[in-house]
């Protein structure tokens, strides 16, 4: 189900959900806009989030993902549009009355309160009996493995511990939706990787709906059930991680998520080929749903490129020759930049473990690149 | 929404209380000064005419405007005492600000380069005298600068001078008193910027072959200009209007402008003249602030 | 790398000496037995003994403390509100005038502030005394308070307030449970500053005071206009001692509370 029609971003959301969630959305965002002066941080955006889902908003900085999160939390008032939680519009409900909690990028732990008091803060606002508060705080602290740190002040904790306090504080209120604003950005790489698994595990355990904002694509791909890729206040594509990676709906998404090669050409008369590219005529796996002769782009991920010294036997695969101009050794992979006939550079990634005894290609070598039709994605925009 | 309404009333209360207070006790008094500066001196209580007579209604207001006079301002122009007084105030403020810079910059620089732990202590040491009374600090210098005070005793014992020089009732004493009293106001803003100055910038300049004195001139000084400007404003403006220091340490030949206002008011009981002197002084002082603000705004626009 | 060079060391040592030597000399001379201040006549505490009997000085000191206490408290309240309005309320009608009225008194020569205050009190025919001095000091000090508290509020991490609201605390409760405790040190410092400013002021008090409301600086000033007096040396020494002890206690208190905060870090 590749998308060839140039659907408008605002309408292309929420309809390609994967997974086993119920059909009724928990959170529905309709035509939501937020303008700061003349700048639209969020621009006529619509999105459905389903119960129990782990949803990631992914985009470059300044794309409006944090503003969208703050609109859901209630810190910003929408210029237009509705935010429906269980079918009720909460757009004008102040943040302290929304059953939605947020974990801040800076953690925003109250420096004058102990870990325990920080976590208890939200429950106290509900006016719960003291005994219940104490019990729930102890439970959640045990869950994030901070039971022994209850009496400490935030400045006496490590970065990872602070992150867990912030998480516990927003979870203890049992919100309908938990919002996480770059929750792992302040951690170093090792800890970040470990925490990703913990976060996924936690979400599975408590079956809450999570919306995470991140600029880190590997983080989004790893933790989320679905990803919404945002740019300039709009959702460019909403889909499961594999779908986003393998079948991006635009050059922008393809380029933003991972590395990719583009070959520009025109749709052939048989709708199964793209003509006039740097690699000549390229075959694709499925019929192209576009007028013949319209300009399109064939996108191929570097790791789908096969590198060989001899010209591949003319089969169904597409192929082109070139000269290696740069090589980069990354451990598990090696990256090659190959200058092809029209002067442009094509990237190829080769798994080092898969190599036989053959000599490693080096700079200046003439090589052949090939890829099967299934590896090619045709993009119309 | 009820909640939003109560929020709004809180808001207006938070603004209104200080706002009204300042209107009533800062702006209105100043407008009264402005008004009286256009009145005529009289032997009465209060010693000026016209008095605003609300009971006479419109006629009273008309009467008031008819009797307004610029006599006080004409007096300011004709009597050289006032002009000399202004010039002296500006002169003393300008020179003492320069001295404060010369004394304060090395101290601020020294503190900013001291080990971290020591810095806090040194800042407290610089600020501490400020907490003791201004008057007491000036009085301390009256002790020292007396004819047979400790300074002259020291100079005589060291055979630097044969006759004890007269320090008090001179401009020298005024300068000493001002530099002493205003030093924290110069050191603190300078320290604040110097402390934030990235040490690697100095190292980068050295790395690029810049000698130390040149680094100071080309890197440190330009980067400390915000603190420099703040310190200069913080010292210069109040010094122009200074009263206590020249009154206790200075001579009586040419009074500074603060003394002139005081004398006109308490001595001559010429309230309109005192007010006119004050109005002109405010205009004089507002000008550098407006220029400073304007430049700060233009800089903000450029950035 | 921070290096202490000879130049820096000299600048600091000379600077500190310049600031403290006059005060030290004043303190020493207050223990001089001789009536002639400049001639050393041996150690004595007679001037202190004489002070205890001087009801005028003691009364003026008490008056100063009362004025300082009331005006500092009022100024802290009004100044904190003003700081909140400036930092938190964005643009409101008359904000420019408001901000100008906050900043102008900071640099306004005291002579003019005092003069204008006096003219106001005369115009509305208020009898001058304790309350007129309090009003004048409050007006001057609240601007300093506003600047101190504003600085703290300006670098206040807004996400802390947002977090409190996100966890269900309405705006007023957010202010009381999160904002206020965190800006309290600045408010306390501002109160101390306002207190010191009031205690210190001679000029504004001279204009706005009336019969029966002579403050300590007015008293001292009228004594020393004509020259140095040993009793005044003693008064000043007591004043310096009180201020010194107050600052010492304040810094010890902050050290202690700071230490309580850090001690737990060493625990396993």
Rounded Cα gap, residues B197 and B201, in angstroms: 8
pLDDT per residue as tens digits for the range B86-117:
899 999 999 999 999 999 999 998 888 888 88
Q: How far is CA B100 from CA A97, B141, B178, B195, B254, in A?
A: 56, 17, 9, 19, 23
Cβ neighbours of C9 in B, within 8 Å: 110
List phi, psi (to 5°) of B91.
Answer: -60, -50
> Omega into C60 within 30° of 0, i.e. cis?
no
- Residue C262's pLDDT is what? 37
Least confident span in A61-75, A257-271, A349-363, C250-264: C250-264
* Residue A2 pLDDT greater than 50, yes or no: no
Give yes or no for a contact between C4 and C205, defined as CB atoms under 8 angstroms apart.
no
Q: Residue A6 pLDDT more than 50?
A: no
Closest to A182 measured CA to CA, from A154, A214, A144: A214
Q: Which of residues 38-67 of B touch C (CB under 8 A)?
A: 46, 52
Is the pLDDT reported for residue B52 higher than 70?
no
- Of B54 and B295, which is predicted with more confidence? B295
Partner-chain contact A121 C167, CB within 8 Å: yes
Mutation target for C interface from A95, A105, A158: give the one with most C CBs within 10 A: A95
- pLDDT tens digit sequence for B198-217: 878 877 887 787 887 788 88
Fold of the C55-252 domain: MetI-like fold (1.10.3720)
Would you list which residues of chain A are within 8 Å, Cβ to Cβ, of chain C? 73-75, 94-97, 100-102, 104-106, 108-112, 121-122, 125-126, 151-153, 155-156, 169-170, 173
Which 3 state secondary structure label does DSSP give A260? coil
- What pLDDT is stored for residue B62 in this prediction? 64
- Is residue A307's pLDDT more than 70? yes
Domain annotation covers residue B24? no
User: Is A1's pLDDT higher than 50?
Assistant: no
pLDDT at res. A20: 47
Residues of C in contact with A152 (CB under 8 A): 264
At residue A13, the pLDDT reads: 41
| C166 to A101: CB separation less than 8 angstroms, yes or no | yes
**What CATH number did the domain enclosing B235 receive?**
1.10.3720.10
What digits encode the pLDDT tens for the residues B242-285? Answer: 888 898 888 777 788 888 888 888 888 888 888 888 888 888 88
Dist. CA A346–CA A340, nearest whole Å: 7
Residue B89: name the closest of B275, B280, B225 by CA: B280
Tell me which of C12, C24, C226, C243 to substitute to probe the interface with B (most B C-beta atoms closer than 10 Å): C12
- Answer yes or no: is pLDDT of A17 > 60: no
Distance in Å from the first CA to the final CA of chain C:
32
Q: Under a CB-based contact definition with an 8 Å cutoff, are residues C216 and C64 in contact? A: yes
Contacts of C268 (CB under 8 A, 6+ apart): none
Decide if C168 and A108 are in contact by the 8 Å CB cutoff: no
Q: Looking at A94-108, B213-227, C125-139, which range is the least confident one?
A: B213-227
With DSSP H G I counted as helix, E B as strand and the rest as coil, what are the percentages for chain C, rounded to 5? 80, 0, 20
Distances (CA, A) of B176 to A129, A260, C35: 67, 74, 26
Share of chain C above pLDDT 70, in %: 91
pLDDT at position A12, please?
A: 39
- What six digits make up the tokens of B143? 């002790």
Residue C12 and residue B122: Cβ atoms within 8 Å? Answer: yes
> Does the structure show a pLDDT above 70 at C166?
yes
DSSP state at residue B41: E
pLDDT at A10: 37
**DSSP codes of every residue in B194-241:** HHHS-HHHHHHHHHTT--HHHHIIIIIHHHTHHHHHHHHHHHHHHHHT
CB contact under 8 A, A170 and C166: yes
Give the pLDDT of residue C81.
Answer: 93
Of A50-59, A122-131, A285-294, give the lowest mean pLDDT range: A285-294
State the pLDDT at residue C63: 92
* Nearest residue, CB atoms, B110 vs list C9, C92, C202: C9
Residue B71 has pLDDT above 60, yes or no: yes
In angstroms, what separates the C-alpha of A327 from chain C's closest C-alpha?
41
Is B276 a domain residue?
A: yes
Among candidates C159, C160, C167 on the partner chain, residue whose Cβ is nearest the Cβ of A125: C167
- B1: in domain: no
C195 within 8 A of C69, measured Cβ to Cβ? yes
Domains of chain A: 9-99+175-255 (3.40.50.300), 259-379 (2.40.50.100)
- Mean pLDDT check: name the lowest of A319-333, B98-112, C1-15, C201-215: C1-15
Q: What is the model's pLDDT at position A184?
A: 84
pLDDT tens-digit series, residues C47-70: 888 887 888 888 898 999 999 999
Using the Cβ of B212 and the Cβ atoms of chain C, whether some distance falls under 8 Å is answered with no
Q: Output the pLDDT for position B56.
A: 56
State the pLDDT confidence band at C185, using cuts at 50, 70 and 90. Answer: confident
Residues of C in contact with A169 (CB under 8 A): 163, 167
Q: Would residue B156 count as lying in a domain?
A: yes
Q: Per the CB < 8 Å rule, is B113 touching C115?
A: no
Q: What is the pLDDT of residue B59?
A: 62
The 8-class DSSP code of residue C32 comes to B
CB contact under 8 A, A125 and C169: yes
What's the pLDDT at B273? 85
Q: What percent of chain C has pLDDT over 90?
A: 22
Query: pLDDT at residue C3 above 60?
Result: no
Band the pLDDT of C4: cuts 50, 70, 90.
low
In this complex, do C166 and A94 lie within 8 Å of one another by their Cβ atoms? Answer: no
Residue A183 has pLDDT above 70, yes or no: yes
In a domain, B66, yes or no: no
Question: Closest Cα partner for A279 from A304, A259, A297?
Answer: A297
Q: Which domain holds residue B85?
A: 72-302
Indicate yes or no: CB of B21 within 8 angstroms of CB of C243. Answer: no
Select from A121, A123, A181 the residue whose CB has the most chain C CBs within 10 Å, as the one to mutate to test that interface: A121
Total tally of structural domains belonging to chain B:
1
Quick one: pLDDT at residue C75? 95
What span, in angstroms and rounded, lies between the C-alpha atoms of A218 and A192? Answer: 11
Question: pLDDT band for position A305 (50/70/90)?
Answer: confident
Predicted local confidence at residue B292, as pLDDT = 74
φ, ψ dihedrals at C45, nearest 5°: -115, 20
Residues of chain A contacting residue C182, judged by C-beta atoms under 8 Å apart: 110-112
Asked if A113 and A121 touch (Cβ cutoff 8 Å), the reply is yes
Q: Does the structure show a pLDDT above 50 at C259?
A: no
Q: Give the pLDDT band (50/70/90) at residue A21.
A: very low
- In a domain, residue B26? The reply is no
Q: How far apart are CA B179 and CA C19, in angstroms?
A: 10
Residue B212, domain member (yes or no): yes
A153-163 pLDDT per residue, tens: 988 888 888 98
Q: Chain B interface, mutation test: which of C36, C75, C109, C209, most B Cβ atoms within 10 Å?
A: C109
Strand partners, A323: A339, A366
% of chain A at pLDDT higher than 70: 92
Q: How confident is the prediction for chain A on average, in pLDDT?
A: 83
How long is chain C?
Answer: 268
Inform me whether the pLDDT recorded for B295 exceeds 80: no
Residue B3 pLDDT > 70, yes or no? no
| Contact C2/B at CB under 8 A | yes
The per-residue pLDDT for B55 is 58
Identify the pLDDT of residue A354: 64
Assess if residue B271 is contained within a domain: yes
The pLDDT of residue B42: 61
Cβ contact (<8 Å) for C5 and B144?
no
> Contacts of residue B191 in chain C, CB cutoff 8 Å?
none
Residues 6+ apart with CB under 8 A from B95: B175
Rounded-to-integer distance, Cα B288 and Cα B171, Å: 25
Whether residue A222 has pLDDT greater than 60: yes
Interface contact C167-A155, CB threshold 8 A: no
pLDDT at residue A7, as a whole number: 35
| Average confidence (pLDDT) over A94-108 | 88
What average pLDDT score do residues B61-79 get? 70
CB contact under 8 A, C261 and A173: no
DSSP result, B66-128:
HT---HHHHHHHH-HHHHHHHHHHHHHHHHHHHHHHHHHHHHHHHHHHS-HHHHHHHHHHHHH
Residues of A in contact with C165 (CB under 8 A): 74-75, 94-96
Residue C32 has pLDDT above 60, yes or no: yes
Tell me the mean pLDDT in the region A356-370: 77
pLDDT exceeds 50 at position C90 = yes
Q: Looking at per-residue confidence, does C257 or A138 come out higher?
A: A138
C226 vs B: CB within 8 A: no
- Read off the tokens for C221: 């000033």
- The whole-number average pLDDT for the span A98-120 is 89
* Higher pLDDT pick, A50 / B42: A50
């Amino acid at each position: 189900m590749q998308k060839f029609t140039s659907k408008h971003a605002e309408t292309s959301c929420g309809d390609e959900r994967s997974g086993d969630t119920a059909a009724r959305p928990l959170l529905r965002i309709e035509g939501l806009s937020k303008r700061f002066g003349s700048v639209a941080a969020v621009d006529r955006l619509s999105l459905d989030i389903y119960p129990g889902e782990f949803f990631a908003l992914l985009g470059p900085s300044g794309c409006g993902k944090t503003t969208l999160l703050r609109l859901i939390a209630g810190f910003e008032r929408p210029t237009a549009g509705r935010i429906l939680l269980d079918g009720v519009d909460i757009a004008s409900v102040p943040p302290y009355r929304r059953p939605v909690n947020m974990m801040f990028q800076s953690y925003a732990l109250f420096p004058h309160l102990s870990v325990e008091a920080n976590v208890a803060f939200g429950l106290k606002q509900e006016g719960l009996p003291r005994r219940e508060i104490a019990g729930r705080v102890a439970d959640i602290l045990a869950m994030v493995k901070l039971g022994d740190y209850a009496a400490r002040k935030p400045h006496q904790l490590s970065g990872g511990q602070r992150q867990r306090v912030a998480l516990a504080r927003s979870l203890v209120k049992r919100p309908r939706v938990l919002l996480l604003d770059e929750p792992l950005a302040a951690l170093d790489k090792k800890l970040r990787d470990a925490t990703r698994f913990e976060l996924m595990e936690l979400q599975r355990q408590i079956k809450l709906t999570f919306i995470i904002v991140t600029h880190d694509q590997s983080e989004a791909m790893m933790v989320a059930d679905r990803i919404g890729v945002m740019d300039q206040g709009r959702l460019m594509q909403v889909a499961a991680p594999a779908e986003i990676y393998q079948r991006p709906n635009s050059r922008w998404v393809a380029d933003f998520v991972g590395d990719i090669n583009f070959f520009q050409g025109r749709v052939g008369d048989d709708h199964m080929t793209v003509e006039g590219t740097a690699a000549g005529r390229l075959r694709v796996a499925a019929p192209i749903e576009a007028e013949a002769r319209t300009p399109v782009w064939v996108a191929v991920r570097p790791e789908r490129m096969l590198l060989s010294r001899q010209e591949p036997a003319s089969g169904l695969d597409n192929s082109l020759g070139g000269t290696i101009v740069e090589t980069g050794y990354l451990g598990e992979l090696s990256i090659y930049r190959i200058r092809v006939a029209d002067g442009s550079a094509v990237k190829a990634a080769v798994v080092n473990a898969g190599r036989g005894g053959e000599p490693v290609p080096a700079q200046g070598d003439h090589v052949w690149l090939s890829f099967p039709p299934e590896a090619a994605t045709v993009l119309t925009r | 929404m009820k909640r939003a309404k109560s929020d709004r009333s809180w808001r207006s209360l938070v603004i209104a209380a200080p706002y009204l207070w300042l209107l009533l006790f800062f702006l209105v008094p100043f407008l009264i000064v402005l008004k009286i500066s256009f009145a005529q001196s009289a032997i009465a209580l209060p010693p000026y005419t016209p008095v605003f007579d609300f009971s006479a209604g419109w006629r009273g207001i008309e009467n008031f405007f008819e009797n307004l006079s610029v006599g006080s301002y004409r007096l300011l122009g004709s009597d050289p005492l006032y002009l000399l007084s202004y010039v002296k105030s500006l002169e003393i403020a300008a020179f003492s600000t320069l001295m404060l810079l010369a004394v304060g910059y090395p101290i601020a620089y020294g503190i900013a380069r001291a080990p971290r732990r020591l810095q806090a202590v040194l800042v407290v040491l610089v600020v501490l005298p400020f907490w003791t009374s201004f008057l007491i600090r000036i009085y301390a210098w009256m002790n020292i600068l007396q004819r047979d005070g400790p300074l002259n005793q020291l100079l005589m014992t060291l055979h630097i001078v044969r006759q004890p020089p007269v320090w008090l009732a001179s401009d020298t004493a005024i300068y000493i008193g001002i530099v002493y009293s205003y030093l924290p106001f110069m050191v603190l803003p300078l320290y604040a910027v110097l402390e934030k100055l990235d040490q690697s910038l100095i190292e980068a300049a050295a790395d690029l072959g810049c000698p130390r004195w040149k680094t100071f001139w080309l890197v440190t000084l330009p980067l400390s200009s915000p603190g420099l400007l703040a310190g200069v404003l913080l010292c210069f403006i109040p010094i122009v209007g200074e009263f206590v220091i020249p009154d206790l340490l200075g001579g009586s030949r040419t009074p500074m402008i603060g003394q002139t206002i005081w004398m006109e008011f308490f001595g001559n009981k010429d309230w309109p003249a005192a007010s006119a002197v004050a109005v002109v002084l405010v205009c004089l002082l507002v000008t550098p602030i407006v220029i400073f603000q304007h430049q700060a705004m233009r800089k903000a626009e450029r950035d | 790398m921070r290096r202490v060079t000879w130049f820096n060391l000299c600048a600091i040592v000379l600077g500190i000496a310049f600031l403290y030597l006059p005060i030290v000399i004043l303190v020493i001379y207050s223990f001089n037995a001789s009536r002639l201040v400049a001639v050393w006549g041996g150690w004595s505490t007679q001037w202190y003994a004489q002070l205890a009997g001087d009801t005028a000085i003691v009364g003026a000191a008490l008056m100063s403390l009362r004025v300082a206490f009331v005006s500092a408290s009022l100024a802290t309240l009004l100044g904190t509100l003003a700081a909140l309005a400036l930092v938190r309320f964005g643009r409101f009608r008359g904000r420019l005038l408001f901000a100008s009225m906050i900043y102008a008194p900071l640099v306004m020569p005291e002579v003019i502030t005092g003069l204008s205050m006096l003219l106001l009190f005369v115009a509305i025919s208020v009898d001058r005394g304790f309350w007129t001095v309090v009003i004048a000091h409050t007006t001057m000090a609240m601007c300093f308070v506003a600047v101190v508290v504003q600085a703290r509020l300006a670098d206040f991490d807004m996400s802390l307030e947002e977090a409190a609201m996100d966890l269900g605390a309405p705006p007023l409760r957010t202010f009381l449970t999160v904002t206020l405790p965190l800006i309290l040190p600045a408010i306390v410092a501002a109160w101390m500053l306002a207190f010191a400013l009031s205690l210190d002021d001679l000029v504004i008090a001279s204009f706005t005071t009336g019969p029966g409301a002579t403050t300590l600086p007015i008293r001292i000033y009228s004594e020393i206009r004509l020259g140095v007096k040993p009793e005044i040396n003693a008064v000043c020494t007591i004043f310096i001692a009180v201020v010194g002890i107050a600052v010492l206690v304040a810094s010890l208190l902050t050290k202690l509370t700071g230490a309580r905060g850090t001690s737990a870090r060493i625990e396993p």
